[in-house]
Structure 1
Amino acid sequence: MQALVIAAHGSHLNPNASNPTYAHADAIRETGAFDVVRETFWKEEPHFREVVRTIEADEIFVVPLFISEGYFTEQVIPRELRLEGWDPELWDSDGIDASQATLTATDTEKTIHYCGPVGTHDAMTDVIVGRAESVTGDSDVGEGFGLAVVGHGTDRNENSAKAVRYHTERIREMDRFDETKALFMDEEPEVDDVTDHFECDDIVVVPLFIADGFHTQEDIPEDMGLTDDYRNGWDVPGAVDGHRIWYTGAVGTEDLMADVVLERAADAGADIGRSIDHDAERTRPTDADVAGD
Structure 2
Amino acid sequence: MSQALVIVAHGSHLNPDSSAPTFDHADTVRAAGIFDEVREAFWKEEPSFREVLRTVEAEEVFVVPLFVSEGYFTEEVIPRELRLEGWDVSRWDSDGTSASHASLRASDVDKTVHYCGPVGTHDAMSDVIVRRAQSVTGDPDVGPGFGLAVVGHGTERNENSAKAIHYHTERIREMDRFDEVAALFMDEEPEVDDVTDYFESDDVVVVPLFVADGFHTQEDIPEDMGITDDFREGYDVPAEVDGTRIWYAGAVGTEALMADVIVERARDAGADVGGSAERVRERAGDVAGD
What range is the shorter-chain TM-score in? over 0.9
Task: Indicate the SS of the match to 1:4.
Answer: strand
Deviations 1:112-136 (A, max 9, x none): 0000000000000000000000000
Q: Which residue of 2 aligns with 1:66?
A: 67
Task: Indicate the SS of the match to 1:155.
Answer: coil
Q: Which residue of 2 aligns with 1:181?
A: 182
Tell me: CA distance 1:264–1:187, structure 2 relative to 1, closer, same or farther (3 Å).
same
Tell me: CA distance 1:72–1:170, structure 2 relative to 1, closer, same or farther (3 Å).
same
How many angstroms does 1:281 deviate by? 1.3
Contiguous gaps of at least 5 residues in structure 1: 288-293
How many angstroms does 1:276 deviate by? 2.0
Is 1:76 matched with 2:77?
Answer: yes
How many angstroms does 1:274 deviate by? 1.1
Task: Indicate the SS of the match to 1:49.
Answer: helix
Contiguous gaps of at least 5 residues in structure 2: none
Task: Indicate the SS of the match to 2:63.
Answer: strand
How many angstroms does 1:285 deviate by? 6.9
Q: Which residue of 2 aligns with 1:116?
A: 117
Q: How does 1:21-60 map onto structure 2 within 5 Å?
A: 21-60=22-61
The residue type equivalent to 2:152 in the other structure is: G
Is 1:14 matched with 2:28?
Answer: no
Instruction: Find the aligned partners of 1:154 and 1:285 in 2 and give their Cα distance.
Output: 33
- In percent, how many aligned pairs have the same letter? 75
How many angstroms does 1:264 deviate by? 0.0
Q: How does 1:265-284 map onto structure 2 within 5 Å?
A: 265-284=266-285
Given that 2:9 and 2:22 are in contact with CA atoms closer than 8 Å, whether structure 1 keeps it comes out as yes
274-283 or 237-246, larger mean C-alpha shift? 274-283
Instruction: Find the aligned partners of 1:61 and 1:120 in 2 and give their Cα distance.
Output: 17
Instruction: Find the aligned partners of 1:281 and 1:120 in 2 and give their Cα distance.
Output: 22
Instruction: Find the aligned partners of 1:257 and 1:105 in 2 and give their Cα distance.
Output: 27
Instruction: Find the aligned partners of 2:80 and 2:237 in 1 and give their Cα distance.
Output: 42
Q: How does 1:66-105 map onto structure 2 within 5 Å?
A: 66-105=67-106
With the length of structure 1 as denominator, give the TM-score of the two structures. 0.97
Task: Indicate the SS of the match to 2:171.
Answer: helix
Q: Which residue of 1 aligns with 2:193?
A: 192
The residue type equivalent to 1:148 in the other structure is: A
The residue type equivalent to 1:60 in the other structure is: V
Instruction: Find the aligned partners of 1:275 and 1:236 in 2 and give their Cα distance.
Output: 35
Task: Indicate the SS of the match to 1:103.
Answer: strand
Is 1:208 matched with 2:217?
Answer: no
Deviations 1:192-245 (A, max 9, x none): 000000000000000000000000000000000000000000000001110000
Aligned-CA RMSD value = 1.1
Instruction: Find the aligned partners of 1:246 and 1:286 in 2 and give their Cα distance.
Output: 19
Deviations 1:61-84 (A, max 9, x none): 000000000000000000000000
Q: How many residue pairs were aligned?
A: 287
Is 1:159 matched with 2:197?
Answer: no
With the length of structure 2 as denominator, give the TM-score of the two structures. 0.98
Tell me: CA distance 1:99–1:183, structure 2 relative to 1, closer, same or farther (3 Å).
same
Q: Which residue of 2 aligns with 1:3?
A: 4
The residue type equivalent to 1:272 in the other structure is: V
Instruction: Find the aligned partners of 1:24 and 1:79 in 2 and give their Cα distance.
Output: 25
Q: Which residue of 2 aligns with 1:290?
A: none
How many angstroms does 1:91 deviate by? 0.1
How many angstroms does 1:109 deviate by? 1.2
Tell me: CA distance 1:41–1:286, structure 2 relative to 1, closer, same or farther (3 Å).
closer
Task: Indicate the SS of the match to 1:94.
Answer: coil
The residue type equivalent to 1:53 in the other structure is: R
Deviations 1:2-31 (A, max 9, x none): 000000000000011000000000000011
